[in-house]
Amino acid sequence: MPADADDLVIATPAGLYCPAGDFHVDPWQPVARAVITHGHGDHARPGMGCYYTSAAGLPILQWRLGAQDYRAFDYGEPFALGRTRVSLHPAGHVLGSAQVRIECGGTVWVVSGDYKRQPDPTCAPFAPQSCDVFVTEATFALPVYRWPETAAVARDIVAWREECAARGEAAVLFCYALGKAQRLLAELRAHTDQPALLHGAIAAGVEVYRAAGVELLPTGTVAEQAPRGGGYAGALVLAPPSAAGSPWMRRFRRVQTAFASGWMQVRGNRRRRHVERGFVVSDHADWPALLQSIEQSRARRIIVTHGAGDALVRLLGERGLAAGTFDTRFGSED
């Protein structure tokens, strides 16, 4: 989409840039001022002069990026950058995730970052913002992606663990270490009180959430529990996807593996990952939620940043909206 001279956000080699405010949103190259939507590695990178973040997201950035020049703001609390008035609003993606609302001379742009519309006990729910231009993610922008109720999936996970227990197997559930793991632990609380064991790479993030006051299922770490007798039989273990096929897995002599992700909606993805089970739990908007959010934004122009955007852009175009894409380096992990 050709940029207008007065566009509030444009795509540049360093990342999405707001010329009127002279700041970037989730840049991938070092810049002076970076407004960060959330703490995932493809959105929050080291090397920025100054980080603007939601207060709720600050502990995550401190954990991931260490000591930096942070400016933290409550949701909805406006601050001035250049000629613009900026505020952060809940995106419902992970703890502290934010949409960036940018206002300048009566025009409002919202950059969604990653977001979802399903309830999530670990973070504030997505708050729709009216705007002129809505810059949206499109990780799961095809109608085949429609998420099941999370509670039903949590019950399936518990049933699966019980099945594994009956067979003398450990139940290793792969999930991303920031956000997904904590959401699973929070959702599982309603259905079980058996503690889950954590891979080391997940334990740190779980502590950040606990310190922020998010209630999670009790946990232990895998290293702590020596495998006596039954070893890890019947244990639910959360591990990052990178642990799949690694030597770390050898400690579970009898094991079933599963992956918790929106990608598991399609069977081919599950089989490609060589896991026994796929649980559809996503921290991104599904197709109906994308359309709903676009509609609620009341924007007349939609810009899609990453994911399967082509179909969405074409559909919005057919529905009479101005729709285009920004080329970004955000990933499609979930």
Which stretches of the chain bind other proteins, using CB under 8 A? 142-146, 265-269, 271-272, 276-277, 308, 311, 314-315, 318
Measured distance CA(26)–CA(44) in Å, rounded: 6
Pairing of strands 236-239, 107-111: unpaired
Q: Which of helix, strand or coil describes residue 55?
A: coil
User: Which C-beta is closer to other proteins: that of 208 or that of 258?
Assistant: 258
Q: How far apart are CB 147 and other proteins at their closest, in Å?
A: 11
Measured distance CA(185)–CA(315) in Å, rounded: 37
Measured distance CA(221)–CA(214) in Å, rounded: 19
Task: List the one residue out of 2, 108, 82 whose CA is nearest residue 11.
Answer: 2
Q: How far is CA 159 from the centre of its chain?
A: 26
Q: How far apart are CB 28 and other proteins at their closest, in Å?
A: 17
Measured distance CA(86)–CA(172) in Å, rounded: 42
Measured distance CA(223)–CA(185) in Å, rounded: 19
User: Which C-beta is closer to other proteins: that of 82 or that of 331?
Assistant: 331
Q: How far apart are CB 164 and other proteins at their closest, in Å?
A: 12
Q: How far apart are CB 290 and other proteins at their closest, in Å?
A: 13
User: Which C-beta is closer to other proteins: that of 60 or that of 316?
Assistant: 316
Q: Which of helix, strand or coil describes residue 120?
A: coil
* Most distant CA atoms of the chain, gap in Å: 69
Task: List the one residue out of 211, 207, 212, 146 whose CA is nearest residue 181.
Answer: 207
User: Which C-beta is closer to other proteins: that of 229 or that of 268?
Assistant: 268
Are 91 and 126 within 8 A, CB to CB?
yes
Measured distance CA(172)–CA(197) in Å, rounded: 9
User: Which C-beta is closer to other proteins: that of 193 or that of 318?
Assistant: 318
User: Which C-beta is closer to other proteins: that of 84 or that of 257?
Assistant: 257
Q: How far apart are CB 291 and other proteins at their closest, in Å?
A: 11
Q: How far apart are CB 157 and other proteins at their closest, in Å?
A: 14
Q: How far apart are CB 287 and other proteins at their closest, in Å?
A: 9
User: Which C-beta is closer to other proteins: that of 88 or that of 264?
Assistant: 264
Question: φ and ψ at 322, to 5 degrees?
Answer: -80, 120
